[in-house]
């Protein structure tokens, strides 16, 4: 009998909490009232940082309730050793809820509430390895801080999220961050080697949504845009309207659409000095394409991955691309997505208008184009996936570009294996590409390996971002990875590696050796240092390549600090010769007061000539100010200065350009925003900084939902 009981307990050691039904809905005011006494609770949290698998320094309890329309959570976070911290502009206490309403064990939502009552939400993908903050849901929260505790209440309407109909058990995870000692505690045990995996969450039982009908959101947008072209001496005022809507056709299927969208308030891309042969990848900033963008990609290893190159056969920046400094107009867009226990499916279509401009006295013309993307992904072996991605565009039967990609990813704990391949057709020029990678642990050794072959004729220039047609590459690194239960270090990795590569247009193979070290400290600081060297062939040049990388990051005075640098002896494609070059970056912001912080994002590029003499230094400084009036209203102001210094003669430094921006944003109601944006750009002309253009916009976006 005892043996049977032991087997039963071992087989059912997954943590569970019941969402009990209530006829009296809790008031979301940050005060845990008597109605919560009937709720089931989650407790026995486990520390993750700074000491893995140990008892937390403070006790945390989470209560769960539901009524026919909503799911409710309440956190009671005890703080007997130190008062909870609230601040708009630096590290503060916060709580997190993560739910998997599909039973997928790979995908879910997250909801974060900070001590200042700031809140964020988003998607979780790839068994917890990737987060997508583009999703914005309708939910309600409030938080109160006391001398000895923090209390937070959250209400999530069933209509505002997608879920598998009839599923009465959802995956769930709770997390608490304590700012005073930089501690993270989770309800279910999380390992530093793995991170917070969806497949290892606990269970939320008794789920029974009774809301009828389906969720519908309507976003009319009105804006007025002021354009002043100083070069052409023209002024134009452009009032306009756009319409966006979102419809949850079923609890698992959502339709999004946009008509004549405007992105006037979107911040300009920062200046980058590119010395390599490949273009710079630019992040998406436009709301329609940001939301759900994680669906329309082939699998990767998540953020901070530098050893594996995914085949990006869809790159949303190609829709409404920039020409002559202006964006090709987007007339309409449509997006359909479906998430279920085993299937993820998405379709995206967009139609762009005509554009005519002049560059260097030559007329350029962009015709109407239609874009289409289809993505399907099926879950296998609980946490792994196989999938297909199609992307294409066409202006007419002779001007088109499309690609089809297949991918598979095997996940088991901290181990991942990805295999993907694609074929392309660019107006009858056809090619293929494949890429595969592995990251995992064998005992105390961590291994990362990747292989990539891109055919010379593989071409997705109008739909994707794979500019290295003709490249072949193999790389592997392997070394000891150690987690320390106590002491200065939290973990430490040291690994040698090799890279074998053939650059496009070259028949010779480059062979590089490398060594890297990456310690992470108990106080949340981290360092990365790496050295790479070996014979290299590119641009018809045979040389001995060498480079050094150094990164350092961590909390400084409760604020974030990041520094990185790279110095190498490589081919300078900007100058067209082989020489030393260096790139440096510094990011830091400082909280002046609870509501305001000042920051700096800066770069410094250094170029040597063939005689090893510094020939040019290009600094970029982007100071900014962020002021929070409250949790829903803020003002951002920045200026970007780009300069040029000939050699090391700093007295002759020229100011090349100045860009100044202002954005006031007010989230006055769920998913409803009011914006005021200004963007002023000036650049050097015959020794003087002269105005080029001024753009101003006032925009309102209001949500009607039912």
Secondary structure, 3-state, 12-45: CCCCEEECEECCCCCCCCCCCCHHHHHCEEECCC
pLDDT value of position 704:
75
Query: Is pLDDT at 269 greater than 80 in this prediction?
Result: no
How would residue 591 be classed by pLDDT, with cut points 50, 70 and 90? very high
Which pLDDT tens digit goes with each residue over 3-38? 444 344 334 458 999 999 999 999 999 999 999 999
How would residue 268 be classed by pLDDT, with cut points 50, 70 and 90? low
Taking the C-alpha atoms of residue 368 and residue 393, their distance in angstroms, rounded to an integer, is 10
Dihedral of CA 163/166/171/174: which sign? positive
H/E stretch holding 332: strand 330-339
DSSP state of 429: E
Please choose, from the candidates 550, 300, 561, 270, the residue with its C-alpha nearest in 3D space to the C-alpha of residue 450: 300
| Highest averaged pLDDT of the listed ranges 394-398, 413-417, 473-477 | 473-477
Taking the C-alpha atoms of residue 320 and residue 644, their distance in angstroms, rounded to an integer, is 31
The percentage of the chain sitting over the pLDDT mark of 90, rounded to a whole number, equals 63
How would residue 482 be classed by pLDDT, with cut points 50, 70 and 90? very high
CATH number (2.60.40.10, 2.60.40.1190, 3.30.1490.190, 3.90.10.10) of 15-205 reads 2.60.40.1190
pLDDT value of position 3:
43
* Cis peptide leading into residue 262 (ω within 30°): no
- Backbone φ, ψ for residue 515 (5° rounding): -145, 140
DSSP state of 159: G
Instruction: Show the tokens assigned to 264.
Output: 């006037």
H/E stretch holding 82: none
Q: How far is CA 288 from CA 98, 165, 217, 241, 293, in A?
A: 24, 27, 14, 16, 9
- Are 64 and 112 in contact, with CB atoms under 8 Å apart? no
CATH number (2.120.10, 1.25.10, 2.40.160, 1.10.10) of 221-240+553-562+569-706 reads 2.40.160
pLDDT value of position 5:
40
Please choose, from the candidates 368, 415, 180, 376, the residue with its C-alpha nearest in 3D space to the C-alpha of residue 295: 376
- Are 346 and 320 in contact, with CB atoms under 8 Å apart? no
Taking the C-alpha atoms of residue 570 and residue 362, their distance in angstroms, rounded to an integer, is 35
DSSP state of 666: E
Which pLDDT tens digit goes with each residue over 333-371? 999 988 887 888 999 999 998 888 766 667 778 899 999
Q: Where are the beta strands (DSSP E) in 36-93?
A: 40-42, 46-49, 60-66, 70-78
How would residue 325 be classed by pLDDT, with cut points 50, 70 and 90? low
DSSP 559-590: EEEEEEEEEEEEEETTTTEEEEEEEEEEEEEE
| pTM (two decimals) | 0.85
H/E stretch holding 92: none
pLDDT value of position 11:
43
Q: How far is CA 334 from CA 222, 250, 351, 448, 582, in A?
A: 20, 17, 9, 38, 43
Please choose, from the candidates 173, 379, 167, 345, the residue with its C-alpha nearest in 3D space to the C-alpha of residue 254: 345
Sequence-distant (6+) residues with CB within 8 A of 443 are: none
Q: What is the mean pLDDT of the chain?
A: 89
3-state secondary structure of 377: strand
Q: What average pLDDT score do residues 455-471 get? A: 95
Please choose, from the candidates 122, 119, 116, the residue with its C-alpha nearest in 3D space to the C-alpha of residue 93: 116
- Backbone φ, ψ for residue 287 (5° rounding): -55, -40
Which pLDDT tens digit goes with each residue over 634-681? 999 999 999 999 988 888 889 999 999 999 999 988 878 888 888 888
CB atoms within 10 A of CB 606: 19
Please choose, from the candidates 531, 569, 565, 537, the residue with its C-alpha nearest in 3D space to the C-alpha of residue 550: 565
Which pLDDT tens digit goes with each residue over 192-228? 888 999 999 999 999 999 876 556 777 777 767 676 6
Instruction: Using CA atoms of 47, 51, 54, 55 in order, give the dihedral in degrees to the nearest 10.
Output: -60
CB atoms within 10 A of CB 520: 21
Q: Which residue has the tokens 């070290």?
A: 517
Secondary structure string (H, E, C) spanning 587-615? EEEEEEECCEEEEEEEEEEEEECCCCCEE
Q: What average pLDDT score do residues 130-147 get? A: 89
H/E stretch holding 203: strand 202-205
Beta bridge partners of residue 473, listed in sequence order: 452, 501
Secondary structure string (H, E, C) spanning 228-239? EECCCCEEEEEE
Sequence-distant (6+) residues with CB within 8 A of 306 are: none
> In degrees, to the nearest 5, what angle opens at C-alpha 392 toward C-alphas 387 and 397?
145
Spans of all domains in the chain: 15-205, 221-240+553-562+569-706
């Amino acid at each position: 009998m005892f043996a049977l009981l032991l087997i039963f307990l071992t087989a059912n050691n997954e943590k569970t909490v019941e969402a009990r039904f209530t006829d009296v809905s809790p008031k979301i005011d940050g005060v845990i009232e008597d109605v919560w006494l009937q709720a089931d609770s989650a407790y026995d949290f486990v520390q993750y940082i700074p000491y893995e698998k140990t008892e937390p320094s403070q006790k945390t309890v989470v209560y769960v309730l539901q009524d026919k329309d909503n799911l409710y959570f309440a956190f009671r976070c005890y703080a007997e050793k130190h008062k909870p911290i609230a601040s708009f502009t630096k590290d503060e206490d916060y709580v997190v809820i993560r739910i998997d309403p599909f039973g997928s064990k790979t995908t879910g939502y997250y909801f974060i509430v900070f001590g200042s009552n700031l809140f964020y939400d988003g998607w979780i993908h790839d068994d917890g390895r990737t987060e997508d903050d583009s999703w914005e849901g309708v939910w309600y929260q409030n938080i109160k801080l006391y001398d000895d505790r923090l209390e937070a209440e959250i209400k999530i309407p069933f209509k505002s999220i997608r879920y598998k109909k009839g599923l009465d058990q959802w995956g769930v995870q709770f997390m608490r961050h304590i700012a005073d000692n930089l501690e993270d505690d989770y309800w279910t045990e999380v390992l530093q080697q793995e991170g917070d995996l969806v497949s290892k969450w606990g269970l939320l039982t008794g789920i029974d949504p009774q809301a009828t009908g389906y969720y519908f959101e309507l976003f009319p947008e009105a804006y007025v845009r002021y354009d002043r072209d100083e070069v052409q001496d023209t002024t134009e005022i452009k009032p306009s309207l756009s319409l966006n809507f979102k419809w949850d056709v079923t609890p698992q299927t959502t339709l999004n659409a946009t008509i004549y969208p405007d992105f006037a308030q979107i911040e300009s891309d920062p200046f980058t000095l590119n010395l390599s042969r490949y273009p710079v990848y630019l992040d998406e900033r436009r709301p329609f394409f940001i939301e759900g963008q994680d669906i329309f990609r082939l699998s990767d290893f998540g953020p901070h991955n530098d050893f594996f190159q995914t085949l990006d056969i869809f790159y949303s920046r190609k829709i409404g691309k920039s020409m002559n400094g202006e964006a090709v107009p987007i007339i309409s867009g449509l997006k359909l997505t479906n998430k279920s226990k085993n299937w993820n499916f998405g379709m995206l279509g967009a139609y762009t208008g005509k554009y005519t401009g002049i560059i260097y006295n030559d007329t350029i013309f962009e015709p109407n184009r239609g874009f289409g993307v289809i993505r399907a992904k099926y879950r296998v072996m609980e946490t792994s996936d196989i999938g297909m991605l199609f992307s294409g565009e066409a202006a007419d039967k002779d001007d088109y570009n499309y690609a089809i990609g297949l991918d598979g990813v095997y996940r088991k704990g901290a181990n991942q294996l990805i295999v993907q391949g694609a074929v392309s057709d660019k107006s009858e020029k056809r090619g293929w590409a494949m890429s595969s990678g592995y990251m995992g642990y064998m005992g105390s050794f961590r291994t990362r390996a990747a292989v990539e072959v891109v055919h010379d004729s593989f071409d997705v220039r109008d739909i994707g971002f794979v500019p290295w047609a003709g490249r072949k590459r193999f790389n592997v690194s392997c070394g000891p990875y150690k987690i320390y239960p106590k002491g200065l270090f939290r973990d430490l990795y040291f690994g040698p590696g090799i890279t074998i590569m053939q650059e496009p247009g070259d028949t010779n193979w480059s062979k590089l050796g490398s060594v890297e070290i990456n310690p992470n400290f108990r106080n949340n600081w981290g360092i990365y240092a790496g050295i790479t060297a070996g014979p290299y062939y590119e641009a018809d040049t045979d040389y001995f390549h060498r480079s050094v990388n150094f990164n350092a990051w961590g909390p400084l005075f409760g604020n974030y600090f990041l520094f990185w640098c790279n110095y190498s002896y490589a081919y300078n494609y900007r100058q067209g010769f082989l020489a030393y070059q260096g790139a440096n970056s510094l990011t830091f912001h400082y909280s002046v007061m609870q509501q305001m912080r000042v920051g700096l994002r800066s770069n410094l590029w250094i170029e040597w000539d063939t005689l090893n003499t510094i020939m040019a230094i290009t600094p970029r400084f982007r100071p900014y100010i962020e002021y929070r009036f409250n949790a829903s209203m803020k003002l951002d102001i920045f200026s970007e200065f780009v300069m040029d210094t000939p050699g090391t003669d700093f007295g002759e430094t020229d100011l090349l350009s100045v860009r100044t921006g202002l954005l006031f944003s007010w989230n006055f109601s769920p998913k409803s925003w009011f914006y005021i944006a200004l963007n002023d750009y000036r650049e050097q002309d015959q020794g003087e900084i002269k105005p080029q253009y001024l753009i101003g916009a006032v925009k309102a976006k209001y949500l009607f939902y039912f």
